[in-house]
Structure 1
């Protein structure tokens, strides 16, 4: 362990009292992992110290262990860290995959399959998912790139392009980096993945809460842009309208609209789309939209003036939709508004989480920054809890006789757990219990975390309307039952065009056909969700079937995709390739496997609809694989999957 990754340490030594105080605030299963690594003593893996299994998606900070056992662990960690300090703080040697597997299997309180060990060892070792070595000893003068979008994906890609010396520009329609995080400013906006998991590998931050809120996430992404001078490569206020491939020239012509209405035309060998999946708001086209006398907008277009103190006081607010955005907005404004009506077509499954609003204290920050491996082991632990452990319970049991409530025994157990929590929170409100209990299996839609939603529903000035909206009037809304509701403000929390990839850009490939002509309006297919036949040198980040339905951090998926694209670019540089195009048979075989996997999963269950599926019922948005599977698939490009043309200049 080098001093450079222990900022703030007094070279003369550690403050033992400060260390003891911080350790007492630590996550006990993580501290056990620290002990095993630092001491090499496997007695810490004996039954006396075995943590219990996490409850739901909680990080089980106490490990479920008795207080005296917790004190013993904390004292031992203090001694181990002081001994490390007294020995001159030797450089940390990343633990082996075998040790990581054994420790995680023990500290999780449940089996963690050994196949996860390479990915977990990468996390525990503190390695970035995408390495960024200096540019290879190969000229890059013949390659250039246009990156579309300066959100997380675009910034990650820009860092990789810079690392290999490829000239590139990022075209961003907004006025700042951050993508969806810059755009979505509504009250309560934040992540539903733990902060220490929803972050970029190797770019650490002392998160103020366990689940980051929008402003802090945006500040974090802006700091990443600062670290890598990304804004120097961004043209802000520029929206791409089309990208046309010229097979003879082996390059793309990108046409973009500038903020002043002018047009900009760029040419590059590579086009990398980083426009995001939840990027284009979907607002229903209802009769009377233009007659409403109050304010009406999509949640992604929250007006800045409504953030001013008292702006919502006394207002009658209607939220159309009850998904993730609505669930964050409602509790955040309920104390200020005169009334709140939520229009719900279908209830959501909601999981408890004791840490949703909990601050991450200074003691935990101290541990992260001063105790070797604490941050890494903690992140690996979160990776197990929130990533793949639930995936096996999302598979249909062909012998399961329950037609709608669940899909297998474990899934039915989830249902009982979440129903029990729902009833506990709603108490004697039988009316709300009936309206809030989904009639489809848990995880049929992305699981949401309770941020005070159930408590909000019990408030006397809140109404839950179990109907869609059919009409807008000058004074409010009309629901599907014909009942009129007065409102001063209407918020459409109605999601995004999640089945229209690259929309609304016109992208034409080698044959001259557009993506819409090749795929249809909402049935995109791509190999690994990244690249498609007939579109050489086009790489799609957040492409079809790469969103996460079962949990986990989408930044992890983006890092996998960026690593894969980087591998493709390295191949082009090494072999002086001018055009790289994935084979049709490879893509077809991959997508047959995707569809076959989805056919066995909860997301194709007929009991509900979700934004994962297109109008034909095909799942186009989310990944059918576990994150560990996708991590393996995208480790490096397989040259045999592609047709390559030598560079013609």
Structure 2
């Protein structure tokens, strides 16, 4: 799965420094492939299972065994760098699964094999996509709506396929949510080496990248692949209408000066994302606040909080990042909490990737590939079983099964540790609902920050806003200089406010009854030919996974479907209604067995009817098999000239 250029020698000193602090389970896998020696997969080198989301860098081995592994790894890597062949360049799928089980210290199922092989190849930098399309019909092109991560992914794959495309972007630059969100402390809560495209490996400076580094990464992709030149910035799509005679979509555009124009294309890919429409709370007097008022997703440039009394409404993911980041600058911070949140420890919060390890990740593809593959398991399906509701479980008010109850005990102990001497706060910060009922957050000193004397947690709802502060339901007044809304996004209204009209004049808003979005594989909807969604309904892996990986999965499917469409000589594909309905019945049935339909929680991923419309209920590996290849039999097709 990897090759080396013998004329490019590795820097021995940097390799030694990198291996000295590298991840032992990953080094064991590198040793197996480089040397072919299977003894590294047996005792006494077997790693222990990871604790929570830990990288388990030492594998739980004693220092003598660690030293032995590191010394052997140095010899093997330097030999490979000098031209020695890889002993097992293409391990068989069953071997990869066996190695993965050892690397993560727990059982990974056999059906993970094919996906693991593909992930391993991608981690080594092998491009597995198909070649450019040789012959395109005249006028065949695509329009991509949005230049965030999913739009860049779509543009890259279209460009690689040789399909002309135009990207429509409402902002003045690429980046999507990572362009718009710039509040203090903004960062990703997925490991950087997972939150990156297989076609764009990156030298990450932190294990969990900051917003600025992520935005720079996306800018680099746009520049390297010539995408920026194909983007119409400062332009929104007002409407898109399917012309069944021409087999093309007509898109009505409006630029930032109000000028209107129209373009058309046979293929439209929506890459507008979901976390881009800030949700504003319905609180009387909100517009009357005299001081600075900002939503975290629309953070003002240069906003100074030094010496200010800051109020934060909300305590979700953005608040958990914001409050610890501003506590030292503000005179005081008062958090108005709707309900407590579970948050898991993660040891590498704001920790830099050591420079020697960065060298190892960049110059030893097998190390990068196996490090990433371990992450795909630790942050993906290993927790799926713990999210299944056990009807016989007698403690349904606090957890949904024995695994989930164990998670509750573990997380509760962690919260107690973080509160230290402030245990009187436990009742205010300990959730009553099961772990993972809401999105599991990663703790960046949230609980510890709440124990500060200048940070105050209030659990009473804000009743109204006054020019100089807020008043809560219990009548207490809180004077404030700055008010921050950390109230999340309107996620369930996919594609809004665009007006999408498909075949027979049906609108997507009518098809989805407002906020009841459904799509086959999260990608395509009956009645809307040649229209594809990335990050559409039911595509967020609530139990883990990487949004970037999901985007690649979906775009790979769209790419495959377009190729099959062209090979078959058809000019439109429309998902069959029975295929769409069967799939969505399976989605709903799977959700009925999971924690996200547990009562007593107000969550962003359920719509007004109580249906889960954001999260994907399947294991990552199962969904990978569903979407791995397109099947034209799932679609109603039309041939050119057949109007």
> TM-score normalised to the size of structure 2?
0.97
* Of 109, 113, 124, the match for 2:120: 124
Partner residue in 2 for 1:71: 67
Partner residue in 2 for 1:457: 450
* Of 289, 293, 303, the match for 1:292: 289
DSSP 3-state at the match of 1:560: helix
8 Å contact from structure 1 (residues 315, 339) kept in 2:
yes
Report the CA distance shift for 1:542/1:18 in structure 2 as closer, same or farther (over 3 A): closer
- Measured after TM superposition, the shift of residue 131 of structure 1 is 4.0
- Measured after TM superposition, the shift of residue 648 of structure 1 is 3.0
Report the CA distance shift for 1:41/1:478 in structure 2 as closer, same or farther (over 3 A): same
Partner residue in 2 for 1:387: 380
* Of 152, 156, 161, the match for 2:158: 161
- Measured after TM superposition, the shift of residue 305 of structure 1 is 1.6
Partner residue in 2 for 1:236: 233
8 Å contact from structure 1 (residues 98, 117) kept in 2:
yes
Equivalences for residues 248-647 of structure 1 within 5 A: 248-306=245-303, 311-647=304-640
Superposed CA deviations along residues 561-612 of structure 1, whole A, max 9, x for unmatched, are 0011001110121122111100111111111110000000000000312111
Q: Which is worse superposed, 263-272 or 376-385?
A: 263-272
DSSP 3-state at the match of 2:348: coil
Superposed CA deviations along residues 172-210 of structure 1, whole A, max 9, x for unmatched, are 001111110011011111111101111111311111111
8 Å contact from structure 2 (residues 307, 330) kept in 1:
yes
DSSP 3-state at the match of 1:65: coil
Superposed CA deviations along residues 43-101 of structure 1, whole A, max 9, x for unmatched, are 11112001111110111111111011000000111111232234456698233212211
8 Å contact from structure 1 (residues 557, 627) kept in 2:
no
DSSP 3-state at the match of 2:379: helix
Cα distance in 1 for partners of 2:142, 2:11 equals 51
- Measured after TM superposition, the shift of residue 34 of structure 1 is 0.5
RMSD: 1.6
* Of 79, 85, 103, the match for 1:83: 79
Cα distance in 1 for partners of 2:584, 2:67 equals 52
Are 1:210 and 2:207 matched, yes or no? yes
Report the CA distance shift for 1:14/1:242 in structure 2 as closer, same or farther (over 3 A): closer
- Measured after TM superposition, the shift of residue 481 of structure 1 is 2.5
- Measured after TM superposition, the shift of residue 17 of structure 1 is 3.6
Partner residue in 2 for 1:102: 98
Q: Which is worse superposed, 282-291 or 349-358?
A: 282-291
Cα distance in 2 for partners of 1:564, 1:372 equals 26
DSSP 3-state at the match of 1:511: helix
Report the CA distance shift for 1:385/1:450 in structure 2 as closer, same or farther (over 3 A): same
Cα distance in 2 for partners of 1:90, 1:57 equals 31
Superposed CA deviations along residues 332-368 of structure 1, whole A, max 9, x for unmatched, are 1000001101111111101111111111011101111
Superposed CA deviations along residues 529-577 of structure 1, whole A, max 9, x for unmatched, are 1000011111011110011211121101110100110011101211221
Cα distance in 1 for partners of 2:382, 2:350 equals 24
Cα distance in 2 for partners of 1:92, 1:174 equals 48
DSSP 3-state at the match of 2:166: strand
DSSP 3-state at the match of 1:432: helix
Superposed CA deviations along residues 77-130 of structure 1, whole A, max 9, x for unmatched, are 111123223445669823321221111111211111111121111122236797
Are 1:150 and 2:143 matched, yes or no? no
8 Å contact from structure 2 (residues 32, 40) kept in 1:
yes
* Of 218, 221, 235, the match for 2:218: 221
- Measured after TM superposition, the shift of residue 284 of structure 1 is 1.4
Partner residue in 1 for 2:14: 18
- Measured after TM superposition, the shift of residue 445 of structure 1 is 0.9
DSSP 3-state at the match of 1:261: coil
Are 1:49 and 2:50 matched, yes or no? no
Gaps of 5+ in 2: none
Are 1:32 and 2:28 matched, yes or no? yes
Cα distance in 1 for partners of 2:3, 2:49 equals 34
- Measured after TM superposition, the shift of residue 468 of structure 1 is 2.5
Superposed CA deviations along residues 374-399 of structure 1, whole A, max 9, x for unmatched, are 00000000111001100110000010
Count of equivalent residues: 640
8 Å contact from structure 1 (residues 95, 125) kept in 2:
no
8 Å contact from structure 1 (residues 475, 488) kept in 2:
yes
Gaps of 5+ in 1: none
